[in-house]
Amino acid sequence: MKKKNLIFSAVGVGLLAAAMVGGFIHFQKQHTDRFLKVGIAVYDLEDPYIQTLTDAIRSQLKDKTIDGREIIYDVFDASGSALTQNTQLYEILQQEYDVILWNPVSPTNVVGILEDAQEQDVPVILFNREPAKADLEEQDNVWYVGTEAKEAGNMQGEMLIQAWNTCEMDKNRNGMLDYILVEGEQAHTDVINRTDAFLQTASAALPLNQLHVISADWARTSALREMQNLSAEETTEVEAVICSNDSMALGVADFYAKQKLPLPVIIGINGIQDMQDAIDAGVIYGTVDLNVPEQAKTIFEQVKGNWSKIDGIFKKVGIATSAVQVGTTSCIMANLEMETVNQLLNSANLLESCWNLYLLHRIMYSFWKCPVL
């Protein structure tokens, strides 16, 4: 039996212009003609997704020139602190960087920095964490590059619908799909949009029953800790866990591994390597791939586009791409090769363990009740 993955791609790398596409901004800074200085301010490099995205941006900028000027860059890691990031951004402005790439710690608190950047004629390209549209529109030289959060939420809903229609998920036979939501920061725009879109898509086709909503601050360890705080009934009865990112989804999987409990359907967002490995291993059901290479490429193209001088001014460029879904559906336990099942059957250690006997029963049950598509 061939093992299959479920990884959806939400390319949706929409670039949201802060002002009208085709507008112009005057740029009067006098810098050396040799270098183009780029300051990259990021939320937290301990976050695997942010690390992956930052590395991709570095690769796009490395050894590149724009209008004969070599790009040089520095990365400023805020380690999750808004105060630290504000200090770093003011340092970037004081040191007269030519452009700022900003992944904000607090997307709801960007106006002050944007106003200061505008006063100094420094273009700002925000990415990954989307501020409010009104905050972006107040400035002339601000852009946002990122995926469409609602599209990612829709894809999670579609994956759960496929799982319900394909797998034997109703463990307690109550006719409902009992699920838990694991969110990042509750007030975060992406969390709100992803969750709303997921619920809208899934509730239109599924008998949803929400058991709990937990906030795990985007972190794997936090998701593990929050799952440990739930009741035994909730963690054993839950049939699906929907997570706002991959790190938290992996934390949920860690919980079930530590407790030696049967896995629910777990769905994340991001497409980081550890998540793809977990999907390959049949531990996690699926994720939404946010297409990091395309995001990084779009960010570089935006920097490049704004440096195309026309009579001493810089043209704003708007870019939009569509969402693409790829991958196939499989049920969790049915991801196992038949050879693996045979190995389990022949394992003396397995037969000596009541837990492993129970797990083996679930595996065999999954093969008959939940065939691979």
Domain that holds residue 48: 22-147+290-315
pLDDT over 70 (residue 358): no
Residue-wise pLDDT tens digits, 248-270: 999 999 999 999 999 999 999 99
Is 262 in the same domain as 307?
A: no
Is 104 in the same domain as 46?
A: yes
Measured CA to CA, the distance from residue 141 to residue 31 in angstroms comes to 18
CATH for 204: 3.40.50.2300
Residue-wise pLDDT tens digits, 268-327: 999 899 998 898 888 999 999 888 888 899 899 888 876 543 333 332 233 232 332 333
Percent of the chain clearing pLDDT 90 (strictly above) = 52
- Which of 240-249, 295-304, 357-366 has the highest average model confidence (pLDDT)? 240-249
Residue 9 located in a structural domain = no
Q: What is the pLDDT, as a whole number, of residue 167?
A: 86
List of residues 6+ apart from 217 with CB closer than 8 A: 184, 185
Residue-wise pLDDT tens digits, 131-183: 877 787 777 788 888 888 888 899 999 999 999 998 889 988 999 999 999 99
Residue 321 located in a structural domain = no
> Mean pLDDT for the chain?
78
Residue 83 located in a structural domain = yes
Is 193 in the same domain as 136?
A: no
Percent of the chain clearing pLDDT 70 (strictly above) = 73
The residue assigned the tokens 């795990």 is 216
Is 205 in the same domain as 346?
A: yes
Q: In what order do the strands lie in the sheet with 309-310?
A: 24-26, 313-315, 309-310
Is 173 in the same domain as 100?
A: no
- Domain count within the chain: 2
**Strand 142-146 relative to strand 124-127: parallel, antiparallel, unpaired?**
parallel
Measured CA to CA, the distance from residue 193 to residue 195 in angstroms comes to 6
